[in-house]
């Protein structure tokens, strides 16, 4: 039956549109498709010009939103929008390292809740580390001996002080830390490869075969599921989920298809966009993000803004490995060729573009060539904070002149990066928690 359903859905997708009576079976009910929307609408119409360096014209005014200071980071990518905004970060050059948190490799997804760092390792240990006490206050391992030699890739979510975990073995489970017990556990047999979202008591996550599962957060019971177009090959890219203020679920799968859906009440697919234009075997993208009803999509070859209706606002042929930083009317990225690029969020105009290595050399008066690939880019304290794979932290002032104001080298960073209460947290080399402030 599963094969029949998957084949039916695939044939519908290839047909490129739904008629008014069409539907996709999922669970026990039909999902309908909204009128006057094409399915798998091609996103890019023509090749764009190659990005070149461009000087900033000061008639253009850069505006950033007010600074945000987060006290908790209870899901991957911070919140339901996957959007972090303009953050407060001291960056005075100070840093602290804790003792080793685990003797096993740490999974990249780390969280922060009630002044505790929450993380996991490849042996399946869920670890709660107190920042105040500087020690592990809780450790739990769900897995039995038969999984002892299997590496566990675990994604985490905190919901009302409960830790939700989903792994590459197909398990989803909930832990009550205060009562030191397992609330529930379910095995869906297919590895999970997405972040986890929570909305109105339901969990949303996706299998590696691009099937979305809807789970009741309090019991772990499956409410429904939805098959989307499967990928041709398993890649390093994990499918990604975000939510908007209209209750829509936005899902970018490993085939390069972005879905906007209502899955709880109306069970409607609003629209589908295809970002894998050439139908390549391998599709890669950064996490999608929602900002003021705009959806930001960054693939290997393009950066674009789309309205929540699915309409394209603009797109540019920009090759980058990272999600851009966004605030106010500004979107900032660094390309694969190390071009530091500032774009007008609303019309896609390139406002400034210059080689990052040249910018550093100009500011330091040295021939600087130590920066490798860029790992992360954020907007902090009216500046752009760039973090390289080899753990250089670079600050670029974008208020008056595009100049490097700070360049610091820190220990290697092995995990996701969180900024909490003006301080920077990540797991560094030798599994030591690093705090930069």
CA 437 – CA 2 distance, rounded (Å): 52
Q: Tell me the average pLDDT across 425-437.
A: 94
Task: Output the pLDDT for position 91.
Answer: 87
Confidence of residue 236 (pLDDT cuts 50, 70, 90): confident
Confidence of residue 103 (pLDDT cuts 50, 70, 90): very high
Q: Please state the domain extents for the chain.
A: 56-106+293-437
CA 258 – CA 303 distance, rounded (Å): 14
Task: Output the pLDDT for position 31.
Answer: 62
pLDDT at 262 over 70: yes
pLDDT at 186 over 80: yes
Window from 5-19, 38-52, 80-94 with minimum mean pLDDT: 5-19
Which token pair is 416? 């996701």
What percentage of the chain carries pLDDT values higher than 70?
A: 87
Confidence of residue 92 (pLDDT cuts 50, 70, 90): confident
Whole-number average pLDDT of the chain: 87
Which token pair is 386? 């760039």
Task: Output the pLDDT for position 43.
Answer: 57
CA 218 – CA 221 distance, rounded (Å): 8
Confidence of residue 95 (pLDDT cuts 50, 70, 90): confident
Task: Output the pLDDT for position 288.
Answer: 97
Confidence of residue 41 (pLDDT cuts 50, 70, 90): low
Closest CA to 208 of 233, 172, 186, 174: 233
Confidence of residue 176 (pLDDT cuts 50, 70, 90): very high
pLDDT at 18 over 50: no
Task: Output the pLDDT for position 9.
Answer: 40
Of the CA atoms within 13 Å of residue 402, those in its CB half-sphere come to: 20
Task: Output the pLDDT for position 34.
Answer: 61
Closest CA to 283 of 291, 275, 292, 273: 275
Confidence of residue 22 (pLDDT cuts 50, 70, 90): very low
pLDDT at 326 over 90: yes
Which token pair is 241? 């989920």
Architecture in CATH for domain 56-106+293-437: Beta Barrel (2.40)
Window from 46-50, 131-135, 414-418 with minimum mean pLDDT: 46-50
Q: Tell me the average pLDDT across 165-189.
A: 95
CA 313 – CA 334 distance, rounded (Å): 21
Confidence of residue 74 (pLDDT cuts 50, 70, 90): very high
Window from 257-261, 273-277, 346-350 with minimum mean pLDDT: 273-277
pTM recorded for the entire structure: 0.88
Task: Output the pLDDT for position 117.
Answer: 97
Confidence of residue 166 (pLDDT cuts 50, 70, 90): very high
Range 390-394, long-range pairs (CB < 8 A, 24+ positions): 391/428, 393/91, 393/436, 394/356, 394/360
Task: Output the pLDDT for position 415.
Answer: 96
Residues with Cβ < 8 Å from 315, sequence gap 6 or more? 43, 44, 48, 302, 303, 304, 305, 348
Residue-wise pLDDT for 290-325, tens only, equals 999 999 999 988 999 999 999 999 999 999 989 999
Task: Output the pLDDT for position 152.
Answer: 97
């Amino acid at each position: 039956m599963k094969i029949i359903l998957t084949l039916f859905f695939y044939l519908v997708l290839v047909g490129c549109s739904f008629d008014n009576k069409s539907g996709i079976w999922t669970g026990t009910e039909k999902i309908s498709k909204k009128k006057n929307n094409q399915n798998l609408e091609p996103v890019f119409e023509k090749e764009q010009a190659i990005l070149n360096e461009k000087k900033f014209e000061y008639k253009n005014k850069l505006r950033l939103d007010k600074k945000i200071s987060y006290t908790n980071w209870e899901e991957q990518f911070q919140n339901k929008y996957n959007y972090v905004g303009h953050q407060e970060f001291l960056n005075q050059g100070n840093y602290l390292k804790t003792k080793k948190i685990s003797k096993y490799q740490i999974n990249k997804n780390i969280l922060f809740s009630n002044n505790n760092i929450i993380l996991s390792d490849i042996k399946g240990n869920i670890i709660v580390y107190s920042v105040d006490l500087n020690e592990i206050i809780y450790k739990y391992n769900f897995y039995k001996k038969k999984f002892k030699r299997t590496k566990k890739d675990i994604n985490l979510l905190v919901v009302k002080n409960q830790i939700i975990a989903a792994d590459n073995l197909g398990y989803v489970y909930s832990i009550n830390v205060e009562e030191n017990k397992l609330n529930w556990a379910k095995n869906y047999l297919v590895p999970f490869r997405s972040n986890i979202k929570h909305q109105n008591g339901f969990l949303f996550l996706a299998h590696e075969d691009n099937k979305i599962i809807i789970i009741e957060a309090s019991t772990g019971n499956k409410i429904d599921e939805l098959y989307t177009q499967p990928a041709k090959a398993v890649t390093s890219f994990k499918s990604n989920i975000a939510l908007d203020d209209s209750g829509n679920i936005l899902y970018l799968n490993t085939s390069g298809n972005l879905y906007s859906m209502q899955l709880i009440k109306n069970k409607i697919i609003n629209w589908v966009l295809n970002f894998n234009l050439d139908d390549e075997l391998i599709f890669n993208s950064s996490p999608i993000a929602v900002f003021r009803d705009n959806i930001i999509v960054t693939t290997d070859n393009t950066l674009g803004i789309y309205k929540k209706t699915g309409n394209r606002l603009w797109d540019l042929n920009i090759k980058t490995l990272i999600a851009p930083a966004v605030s106010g009317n500004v979107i900032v990225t660094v390309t694969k060729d190390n071009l530091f690029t500032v774009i007008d969020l609303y019309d896609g105009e390139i406002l400034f573009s210059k080689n990052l290595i040249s910018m550093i050399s100009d500011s330091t008066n040295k021939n600087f060539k130590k920066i490798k690939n860029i790992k992360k880019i954020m907007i902090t304290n009216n500046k752009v904070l760039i973090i390289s794979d080899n753990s250089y932290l670079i600050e670029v002032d974008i208020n008056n002149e595009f100049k490097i104001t700070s360049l610091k080298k820190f220990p290697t960073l092995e995990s996701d990066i969180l900024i909490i209460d003006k301080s920077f947290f990540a797991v560094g080399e030798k599994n030591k928690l690093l705090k930069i402030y």
